Structure 1
Amino acid sequence: MDKNAVVPDVIEKLPEKNLKVKYGTIQFTTGDTLKPAQVKNPPELDWESDANALYTVCMTDPDAPSRKDPKFREWHHWLVVNIPGKNIKDGETLTEYVGAGPPKGTGLHRYVLLVYKQDAKIKCDEKRLGNNSGAGRGKFSIKNFAKKYNLGNPIAGNVFLAEWDEYVPKLQKQLSG
């Protein structure tokens, strides 16, 4: 994560643990390049967790619309809070998962996945975002979200890279509905 400049672009301090991320049969190594078609569905995540604790999971793209011109930094793809243990489906989804969809010609984007351990259940006032619209996803900051809800630093994280492929127009159509 360090060589991908996740600090300072997304977070202030790198997590101590690696987040295992699996898209179907694909389990990538930090910094690998994946195709948007490979990451269109939510991944399985695995981290060292306490079954009695609550967690927050986020996936964000700091390179929107491009790494050279990140005027929409960050565009968040997924945000779930109050996850009991590793049971993401039992958490409170603030932003439904949307896979990588970098615009054509914008080069590689970084997709950063982070896990935060919560001190207690949090009550969020953020608007709930479905997976059929891109509205409200840009200019997000996981750093500011973590500060607002006293999440501290992420305990686990990972990053992959992706650039435009033939799946992206399908995702863009989904997000315009």
Structure 2
Amino acid sequence: MFHKRSAVSLLSVRNTLRLRTTTTRPVLALRQTPYNITMPLRPLLTISNSILESLKKEEIFEDVLPQFTPKGLLQVSYGGNNEVALGNTLSVAETQSKPKVQFVLDAPTNSSEEGVNITEQDRFTLVLTDPDAPSRTDKKWSEYAHFIASDISLKNTADAGADFLAAEIDLGAQGKELLEYVGPAPPAGTGKHRYVFLLYKQAGVSPQAPKDRPNWGYGSPATGVLKWSEEYSLEPWAVNFFYAENKG
């Protein structure tokens, strides 16, 4: 178990929850750490509640997937000050390249609590989906699948003695790319689109690519990652999202 709270992780979480994109989280030194990493399930209440409030307010739970309690923070950066921060707005031009991703599992230290266990064999899937295609009121292409990478392993890169797991996800080297990254391309005049990143834990079976990007290949409006994830028994672990718009 970890016994020392890290100010680096908490600062990063607070900045994200304030929707501030001016602070970049320091890159943590890579260390060889044992697997079978166990973290308590109980999140810091203020952080957990703030994430849930953002997801409810922007109707992510209503339009993309049912409500769940995130097990950590999914940090997504497009470089510079272009950090995805739970509903901030980024430009279309700034989000055309594949981002950098990190998963941070923060938890208080209490060895009596049930833990979240991550082993060397565990694999995860990362997706990016747009529930507002072609617009928030017209769902004929929704959801639109922008990116899928599966079979990702989470390796702890946090400093020794820290009480959190920090796993940098190298999308160029880790896992299997099922669907090539396609950046946001909202049609002109269709308002702001929500672009939602989701990290899932796999159930031992590798998911397969959907048949198409619009409607995730199902051919039904307002259908997407929820139906696809249920087919492969994927468990949602973390979420983050941003807005992008083409004003024309």
Instruction: State which of 75, 79, 103 in structure 1 corresponds to 2:148.
Output: 79
User: How far 1:4 moved relative to its partner?
Assistant: 1.0
Structure 1 letter corresponding to 2:95: V
Structure 2 unaligned runs (5+)? 1-54, 106-117, 155-168, 217-223
On the 8 A contact 2:191/2:247 being kept in 1, the answer is: no
Match of 2:66 in 1: 12
Structure 1 segments unaligned to the other structure (5+ residues): 128-135, 167-177
1:63 aligns with 2:139: no
Task: Return the alpha-carbon distance in structure 2 between the equivalents of residues 125 and 67 of structure 1.
Answer: 25
- CA apart distance, 1:145: 1.2
CA distance 1:40–1:15, change in 2 (3 Å): farther
Structure 1 residues 125 and 65: CA distance shift in structure 2, 3 A: closer
Q: Which amino acid aligns with 1:122?
A: S
- d(CA) in 1 for partners of 2:205, 2:174: 13
Root mean square deviation, CA, Å = 1.9
Distance 1:92 1:162, change over 3 A: same
Distance 1:118 1:10, change over 3 A: same
**2:15 — aligned with what?**
none
Q: How far did residue 15 of structure 1 move?
A: 4.4
**Kept after mapping to 2: 8 A contact 1:57/1:80:** yes
Q: TM-score, normalised by structure 1?
A: 0.81
Question: Which residue number corresponds to residue 36 of structure 2?
Answer: none
Percent identical among aligned pairs is 35
| TM-score (norm. length: structure 2) | 0.59
Q: What per-residue deviation string (whole Å, max 9, x for no partner) do you get for residues 89-141 of structure 1?
A: 321111100111100010000000000011324152645xxxxxxxx210121
Q: How does 1:1-177 map to 2 (within 5 A)?
A: 1-16=55-70, 17-25=72-80, 26-48=82-104, 50=118, 52=120, 53-85=122-154, 86-88=169-171, 89-122=173-206, 124=208, 126-127=210-211, 136-140=212-216, 141-152=224-235, 154-164=236-246
Relative contact order, higher structure (CA 8 A, sep 6+): 1
Report the Cα distance in structure 1 between the residues aligned to 2:119 and 2:79, rounded to whole angstroms: 24
CA distance in 1, matches of 2:207, 2:193: 31
* 3-state secondary structure, aligned to 1:19: strand
